[in-house]
């Protein structure tokens, strides 16, 4: 019998892409894919393609064993509730054990044990819960999405200045679609043993390198302006960024400066069995968004 695969957070960007790639996988039938969300109404398009939909709410632990009933492979896409994710993920693991799931999959981040990113300990604790479950697992330590550049690069191009507290540190950006393709491949044909993958792009780009690409592609001037973490935090506050987000953003700069986001591995390309999109090609394809 073919394994039944459930993807949590299926109405989100990454979850949707994973399911789209599963639907293109030769040995995975739509009827063996389950899309789960807190609001199944958002999954109507997937349901129309033969994908089963279920409600799975990590803040309602008692419901999860029923949501995961009959599932062989469970992808836990980490939630966006920074500060509250560990109990949510632990509830998902407990529900999986109770439901008889045979293998867990989880979206983590680079080096959660040592990273300076403020929410890294949440991923470390979530990985620990998965490892302690006794179930086989595949953990995806995902790199920074190329799409994350849209959070700051367009505004920097508009002003002509890109403020940088990361020094010459690099980030091995990878397109969200490439991560989803790699994850779908592992979901469809998992490794024999429990495995941790680090899904990165092929090069770690500094802000100076990215600015050079952006200048070439858009024709706009863009200077990288080095600042301290304190200056960056002050600038973010003056720009109206919610105060809860400022320490997170500053911690990412610190992590970049320390080299925490610069890891490069062949894992994503090996799983996806196709070349990854380069940052240059990605920026060119999204020139209008810049």
- Convert the pLDDT of each residue in 40-89 to its tens digit: 999 999 999 999 999 999 999 988 999 999 999 999 999 988 989 999 99
Stretch 266-290: mean pLDDT: 96
Closest listed residue to residue 254, CA positions, set 224, 225, 227, 223: 227
Distance between CA atoms of residues 6 and 20, nearest Å? 13
* pLDDT at res. 251: 97
Distance between CA atoms of residues 98 and 84, nearest Å? 22
Distance between CA atoms of residues 111 and 104, nearest Å? 19
Distance between CA atoms of residues 248 and 256, nearest Å? 12
Distance between CA atoms of residues 68 and 96, nearest Å? 6
- The dihedrals phi and psi of 141, each to the nearest 5 degrees, come to -90, 95
For residue 260 the two structure tokens come to 């925490």
Stretch 246-262: mean pLDDT: 96
Distance between CA atoms of residues 80 and 109, nearest Å? 13
Asked if 253 contacts 166 with a C-beta cutoff of 8 angstroms, the reply is yes
Tell the residue number behind the tokens 């200045």, with chain if given. 161
Distance between CA atoms of residues 152 and 37, nearest Å? 29
- The dihedrals phi and psi of 193, each to the nearest 5 degrees, come to -110, 165
Task: Quote the pTM value.
Answer: 0.95
**C-alpha torsion 52→56→61→63, nearest 10:** -50
Tell the residue number behind the tokens 């610190």, with chain if given. 254
Beta strands in 200-239 (DSSP E): 223-226
State the CB neighbour count (10 A cutoff) for residue 151: 10
* pLDDT at 2 exceeding the cut of 80: no
Stretch 173-182: mean pLDDT: 98
* pLDDT at 226 exceeding the cut of 70: yes
* pLDDT at res. 230: 96
Three-state DSSP state, 137: strand
Stretch 194-219: mean pLDDT: 97
Contact residues for 232 (Cβ-Cβ < 8 A; gap 6+): 163, 165, 249, 250, 253
* pLDDT at 220 exceeding the cut of 60: yes
pLDDT band at 1 (very low <50, low <70, confident <90, very high): low
* pLDDT at res. 26: 87
* pLDDT at res. 27: 87
Distance between CA atoms of residues 238 and 255, nearest Å? 23
For residue 74, what is the DSSP state?
E
- Percent of the chain residues topping a pLDDT of 70: 100
Three-state DSSP state, 227: coil
* pLDDT at res. 73: 98
pLDDT in tens, 108-122: 999 999 999 999 999
* pLDDT at res. 214: 97
Distance between CA atoms of residues 281 and 174, nearest Å? 12
Three-state DSSP state, 26: coil
| DSSP strand pairing (52-55 vs 195-199) | unpaired
């Amino acid at each position: 019998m073919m394994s039944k695969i459930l993807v949590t957070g299926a109405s989100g960007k990454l979850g949707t892409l994973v399911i789209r790639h599963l639907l293109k996988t030769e040995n995975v039938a739509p009827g063996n894919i389950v899309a789960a969300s807190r609001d199944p109404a958002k999954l109507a398009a997937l349901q129309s393609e033969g994908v089963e939909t279920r409600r799975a709410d990590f803040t309602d632990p008692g419901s999860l064993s029923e949501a995961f009933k009959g599932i062989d492979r469970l992808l836990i896409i980490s939630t966006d509730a920074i500060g509250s994710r560990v109990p949510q993920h632990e509830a998902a693991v407990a529900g999986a054990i109770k439901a008889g799931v045979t293998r867990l999959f989880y979206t983590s981040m680079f080096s959660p044990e040592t990273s300076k990113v403020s929410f890294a300990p949440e991923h470390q604790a979530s990985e620990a819960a998965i490892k302690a479950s006794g179930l086989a697992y595949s953990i995806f330590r995902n790199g920074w999405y190329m799409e994350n550049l849209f959070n700051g690069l367009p505004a920097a191009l508009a002003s002509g200045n890109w403020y940088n507290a990361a020094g010459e540190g690099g980030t091995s950006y990878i397109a969200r679609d490439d991560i989803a393709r790699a994850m779908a491949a592992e979901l469809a044909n998992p490794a024999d043993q429990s495995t941790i993958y680090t899904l990165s792009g092929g090069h770690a780009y500094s802000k100076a390198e990215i600015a050079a690409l952006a200048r070439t592609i858009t024709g706009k001037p863009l200077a990288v302006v080095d600042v301290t973490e304190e200056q960056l935090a002050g600038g973010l506050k003056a720009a109206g960024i919610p105060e809860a987000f400022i320490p997170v953003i500053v911690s990412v700069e610190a992590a970049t400066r320390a080299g925490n986001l610069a890891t490069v591995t062949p894992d994503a390309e090996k799983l996806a069995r196709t070349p990854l999109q380069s940052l240059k090609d990605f920026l060119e394809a999204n020139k209008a968004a810049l």
